[in-house]
Structure 1
Amino acid sequence: MQIIFYKHIDYFINQKKNYYIIIIVSLCYLFFGVEKSFSQNKIDSLLNEITKYSKEKIKNDTIPIQLLSDLSNEYLYSDPKKAEEYARKALVLAETQIKSSIKIPVLNCLGSSYEIRGQYDSAFIYFKEAYRLIKKTNNQTIQRAITLEKIGVLYRYKAEYDKATKYLLDALEIAQKLNAEKLQGNILNSIGNIFVERQKPQEALKYYEESLVFKKKTGNKRTISNSLGNIALIHQQLGNFDKSIKMFEEVLVIKKEIGDKEGESGAYFGLGQVYESQKKYKRALEEFKKAAKIDEELDYRYVLADDYRQIGRMYSKLGNHTLAIFYVEKAIEMAEEVNSNRVFLTVYSTLTEVYEAEKDYKNAFEAMRKSYQYNDSVFTEQTEKQITEINTKYETDKKEKENQLLLTQNKLQEQKLSTQKSLIIASVFFLFLFIGLAFVLNRQRMIKNKANILLKIKNIEIEQQKEEIEIKTEYANKLNKEIQSTLDIVNEQNKSITSSIKYAKRIQDAILPTQKEMKTILGNDFFVFYQPKDIVSGDFYFVEQIEKKLKNGQRETNIIICVADCTGHGVSGALMSMLGIESLNKIITQNIISPNLILENLHNQINEKLHQNDNQSQDGMDAIVLNFKKIDGKFVSVEYAGAMNPLYYSQLNQDIEEFKIIKATKKSLGGTIYSKQTESNTFKNHFISLLDENNQPIPTQFYLSSDGYQDQFGGKKGKKLMVKNFRNLLKEMASNSIQEQKENIETHFEEWKNGYEQVDDVVVMGIQIS
């Protein structure tokens, strides 16, 4: 039926005969071709319009255009392709009209049908054409505000936030003048969206709530539910997850009720984001897939890019890296079709996360580089704002100086007028007092000469001021350019350095033992509190396991654990830590398992690799090494040796908890700090039994630490924590569970800092043997 309708319309328009027949035929086919999804009230309304039009034979060519536009709007959210078809037919009819303004709402309908499918370049063409026609009238109409709002929304999709804000504020000003409450609600909602994408949720919430007030006045369920969905998203970002879920479910009910497929997809997507924030990744994956299914049916390419990106992230979180990369690459394809910098930024950021999770650092770095490229494109507004502020300040200063110059000129003009007035009075006076002519003329000449001298002086001063202003202005412009250029260089260098250090951190994290690896060796009875002062750390920890079978058939396991504190922190400390880990791996592969020999070999390797016998380098490290010995899976003993750092442990002896300290050897690893006093010292081994006289396990807690924790400044007086207080903390918490001990260590450190800056890298390891 619809195909026949379109053919009749095209035929009559091409023939240009009997235009009123076009209208009657168009409306008849329009009536029979409407979709079943329209409500009965809408069908009755269209039928009444057609009947009225046929009986009265109203010669008004705009009626079928309006009806076709109405049909386009009705289909906009349920079937945007259908909306495009009706809008195109309306545009064909509108082209035959004399008044070009009739095309404006039709062009907006056509642009909206492209916008909602993510085809923004096409949408721009129609919205811009509508705005061109509007500017010819120069009237502050509702269509002008609507068109400005639509262009502003498109600029937001393209992440051109400065242009988006300008168009939206212009639209809001017109809507306020016309008291258009529905449109004001839509515009405020769009401004809120900009703040969301700029990661300013509190500001966005203010605009969304103000938008909701206007939308509730109109009673439009679609727009009300849109605002509720946006507010739900903000609560998700602020951590109010239960409230966010409740609101999204309320939105979902409304969207299904009114048949808003686009809104239904958005509600599922929002629920997925909340469940992701709660780390319920399987549930989040289900919601994102529901959203994608709807958006695929509607061909919403812009939104599909986000759907596929989120599905990929969830598969990555769930450990399925193959599907994760597959969906993120689909998201990149969608991003290329819609050509949006914002979408490129989010998709490549997600791809970076996926490759990092897979430990594919090469591809992760490439994806991160691309995300930075689009990050620069999206967030250039701050630079524009700085330039605007500088220009505004400069123009203000210039205006003040010009005003001062004008005041000076006015004073001179007044003085000149006063002189002229005196001359006129003197001339009149001469007529009546001829006798005093000589005296008066001489007097006036003197006054005039004096005034001229003063005038010349003032003119010279004015010229000097003008030259001074020009010189200062030129200097200020040059200085501003130099400052901006320097700032650009510094910012770029800082960005590059920070990026490199962050990448170095990922490498450092990759070579440290993972929680999974440590649980495989130690079980669940351990904790590690590892907190670098900067991005990378000079403290490190090392865990390795060596197994061998004894001659008597028993299986012996040696678990080597090391906690070390390298000279310095940040990048220099991190390099030393990597040297230490590499050296330990080499020592262990040589089957050296005695702690004192491990320390001695590590000391020699540092001296050798840093050529310290030649250059007197003071780089080195302090360390603790433990060897937990197990026979057939049962802990039997521990050997300890320390370089500067002691061992703390708590052991239950006949139901009495005893807290003990074994002092370290006064000798650092590498460096020349203690070489004269301590180089002759040898690292001493200490033996601790983990079995009682009945060969039963003795519950024991071990604590290994760098000096960063005890050296931290804080408390009420801003002093160091000190060794004594650190030791008392360990003693007090020794009877707690291992998880409680970790929480005690972390909480006490943050409370002790009390706002003070962290002074050193920190690592504390606790191991529970029972």
Structure 2
Amino acid sequence: MKRIIGFSLLVGVVLAATPCEACSHEPICLGECAYKHLLQAEDPQAQAEAYLLLAHAWAKGRLLEGVPRLIQETLKRVQADDSLAWHARVLLARTYYALGQRDSALLGYEQVAQAAEAYPFLQARAYLGLASAYVETEPLRAQGYAAQALEKAEKAGDPLLLALVENTLAYLAAQQGRLSQAIGAAQRAKAYLETLEAKPFSLLLDPPQEVYSAVLANLASLYAEKGEVDRARALYEEALARSRKAGDSLGIAHALIGLAGLYAQQKQPQKALNLLAAHQGLFLRLGYALRRAWLQTEAQAYIQAGRLGPALDAIQRWALEAEKEMRISQSSRLAELKVLSGLQAREAELMALQAQRRRERIFYAVGALLGLIAIGGLGYAVRQARRRAREEQAFREVIAQQSERLEEQARALERQNEELIRISEALTEALSTVQESYEAAKRLQRAILPPLERLVPGSAVYYQPMQEVSGDFYTAAVDPFSTRFFLAMGDCTGHGISGAILSGVVAATLQNLFLQNPAQPPLTLLRRALQAIRLVLQSDASGEALSVREGADVALLIADFREKCLHVGLAGRPVWVMHPQEGLTELSGGRRGLDSFTPPDYEFPQFTLPLPEEGTVYLFSDGVTDLLNAQGKKFGIQRLRAILEAERLSPPKKQLQALVAEVEAWRGKAQPNDDLTLLILPLAGLWEYARTRLQVKA
């Protein structure tokens, strides 16, 4: 009989992947091919090769628990120093490592690395396995093993093996901060892969296409870390193009996730999100690990873009994927219990069969002793006994096979449970990242608010965001040449991160426009600010306005100490002025704010008032008057006016204490429904600031 496999499947001394005659695919196709090799093997050497080929097939199919038994069958049929024996030991070490038996794996790799002197390829593969095992825990030790692997790989002269070793050296160099050396090693790995020809590769190595994708991704990440973003992007795009040409969906997914991560690293989260969205159809075809990496990258991009709602949605989808995996694990467990119940039924049937055999034996023994059964009848009984013995043996074999399968499935279930634990830890870390982002935004917003209470003596500020950060703002600026002091308070659309971003844009715009021309009237400043903000809020490059109202209601003051007058410009928010004798005067804020619905030529209300050294100015957001209590009623303008008039002769800080006490009592246990901001500005404090800081004489 013609041998199906033999030394024609060897590259040097290493079992290689060549198409089989039955299916024109790899001989480890997990179909009948690998088993056919075993059935047709005639001598121990051919049987050893067939068992080793079958072990590779089981390893490829993740049936790892059965691989050691097949390797033992291989080792029984060849000499201890035969190339197939060393090949089998390397595969056994890889299997032990995948099963989590790290000590057994390291012992196997060490044995091959030290003793297989006649086979440098296998020595290099063993040293590479040792380096990979220590790469995270003991990088210096891993470096030594990788150097030895490189020496043996150069002696073996296999480009694919050399590429794997150089890529490992690149990773280790990057881990130790030697970025230039890491890039050099990764470039050499890429160069080795470019020299590969279309010929069989060792089954102990990953397929060249997967290795090429891994090398490109590693090299791209190194260039990204070095700051050469264009080269990194080009490498990711090259990996994407190669994967598309080969129809490799996994390679496409790896390249997409890496490229999206690069965009996120460049603070271009929208590009990352657009890239992932354009390939959303690929998501459902991916395995669980790649779907998890996809959702992680998507959540990070949403967080960078300040879109916490979609970010939390992505994290929730991540959790749903984990829950789905858990349900699949539970379904597998139920199937195992059904198999177990079937085994128990067969065991009961086997016990009944054994009892029947014992009764028959007694009967036949008595019949033989008494001589009451003819020889023909006795022969018939013997045949029946043998038939039942064969049935019993068949039952035992079925039970043994299904018990082994049940044990393998139980171990797989345990590994899935460990993966779910890791998923839970990753979700906790992602939620912690969201919270840290909120805290950072809160610190940043507090840092850019001016210290008004220190600038203007006697002033008081109440600033209370509804969430961690606020859509309200206040900003101040001064021009020492014209001795003009600028103060603005605004209430932007939205709350949280989106409101905080918009408030930062509006505050910076108002401050910059004032400093460009401090002498401009409030109406001019507000119109210029409206034009700038409308440009920011445009939906796209066409210049069309948004279909929803976005912007800010603003009140601003410009104190001119030379002219002794106070200029007031209002865009949707009022200003209250309290005179000790005249009482409270309200300056109406008009009907429009600085938003996408306001016409460019809108006449914003502006006022010019005397600037005496007595009196108080109040600026506040609608969060104060619209504050809801537990019954859903608003705090109201009249209640605010009554409190301020009752405290009109008190210092601003005491006025603020009285107001905050009333606000907290009104709200009670109800949750805040808006950001709260109130500025109390004494005119005497403004004049003191002008005299001490601007050297103005009253």
- TM-score after normalising by structure 2: 0.47
Structure richer in helix, relative to its length = 1
- TM-score after normalising by structure 1: 0.43
